[in-house]
Amino acid sequence: MREIVIGAAQMGPIQKADTREAVVARMIALLDQAAEKGCDLVVFPELTLTTFFPRWWMEDQAEVDSWFETEMPNAATQPLFDKAKGYGIAISFGYAEKTPDGHHYNTSILTDREGNIVGKYRKVHLPGHSEYDTERAFQHLEKRYFEPGDLGFPVWKNMDAWMGMAICNDRRWPETYRVMGLQGVELVMLGYNTPSVNSQMSDEGLEKRIYHSDLSMTAGAYQNACWVVGVAKAGDEDGHPLMAGSIIADPNGFVVARAETDGDELITHACDMDLCNFGKETIFDFKRHRRVEHYGRITAQTGVEYPE
C-alpha cells in the first residue's frame, strides 16, 4: 500500500480587489485544516492567487502583467511555502506566470514535502478567444493573455508516486490523461475556473456543466487507471459565478470525495497509489493492448477531415 492522504482545497471566489496576501492567508487556513486531517499533499485551483482575470478585456499590457507572477515563490507566496514545509505537506497550485524573457503562461507547480518545486506544468488547451466577442454574455480571453504551454504533459516521481498536472480545460481532452498515462501516471492534479453559465448558451443548466466536468475526470481516471483530483475556484467573482464541484476520482472512475459548497472547502481522501496497479496491468496494460498503427490521426491532424 502506498497511501497518500490528499486534500483538494477548493477556493471560494476571489474578487478583483483582493490582494495576493489575503488569498494566501485563506490558502494557509485550508492548509491548517489539511494538517489536522493528516494530509500529505494539498491541491489548490487554477490561477489560485487572483480572480479569474481572463474574463476582463484589457488593452494595457502593464495592467495585464499585474495579474502575473515573475517568480515563484515570491514575497506574497513565501508564507505558504514556509507553512507547507513546516507541516511536511506537498502542495500544488496554479498561477499566471510571466517568464524572464516575457512569455505568459497559465501555470501550475508541484512541491515535495520540503517546499521545493519539483514540477511545473503550463496549460496546453487554452479555451476561449483572443479578441473582444460581442456575441458572448461575458468574455473568456485566455487565448489573448496566455501562450499555449511549452512543456508538454510531464510526469514526476514525488512521494513514491508518479504525478502529473493539468489545468481546467485540459481535463476535457482525453489526450491530456493518455500522454501522462503513457508515462505511468498514478495521480493527475488539476485546478479549474469554470463559469457556472455557458457564455454562448444561456439556458445550459449547472447540472449539465457539473456532469461534463465529472464525466471528463472520471473517464480520465478509469481509462488510465489513475487518481484524478479536480479542484475548483468557485462562487461569485464580481458578479460572475464559477462552478464548484471539486472531486477526487479513484482509478476505477468512482468519485470518492466531493465538495458540497461553493466556498473555501477542503475535501480529503486517503488515496492508495497501488490501487492503480490492477487496471494498469490488465485492461489498460497499454503495452499489450494499444494499436498505435491506427492512431496516426491523433497527432497528424487537428480538426475534422471528412473522408473523400
Residues in the site for ligand CDT, rule: CB under 6 A?
46, 127-128, 140, 168-169, 172, 192-194
**Active-site annotation holder among 39, 97, 168, 280:** 168
Rounded Cα gap, residues 143 and 284, in angstroms? 34
Q: Which is nearer to ligand CDT, 128 or 251 (CB)?
A: 128
Q: How near is the Cβ of 207 to ligand CDT at its closest, in Å?
A: 15
- Is 120 annotated in the active site? no
Rounded Cα gap, residues 248 and 218, in angstroms? 9
Q: Which is nearer to ligand CDT, 55 or 83 (CB)?
A: 55
Residue 108, C-alpha cell as written in the block = 501550475
Q: Which is nearer to ligand CDT, 39 or 197 (CB)?
A: 197
Q: Which is nearer to ligand CDT, 9 or 161 (CB)?
A: 9
Q: Which residue has the cell 520540503?
A: 114
Distance, CA of 119 to chain centre: 13
- Is 276 annotated in the active site? no
54 upstream amide cis, omega within 30 of 0: no
Q: How near is the Cβ of 46 to ligand CDT at its closest, in Å?
A: 6
Write the Ramachandran bin of 97: left for phi over 0, alpha for psi from -120 to 50, otherwise beta: beta
**Active-site annotation holder among 39, 83, 97, 123:** 123
**Active-site annotation holder among 46, 97, 142, 186:** 46
CB 235 within 8 A of CB 241: yes
> Across-strand partners of 5?
270
Q: How near is the Cβ of 291 to ligand CDT at its closest, in Å?
A: 30
Q: How near is the Cβ of 136 to ligand CDT at its closest, in Å?
A: 8
- Is 3 annotated in the active site? no
Strand, coil or helix: 69: strand
Active site residues: 46, 123, 168
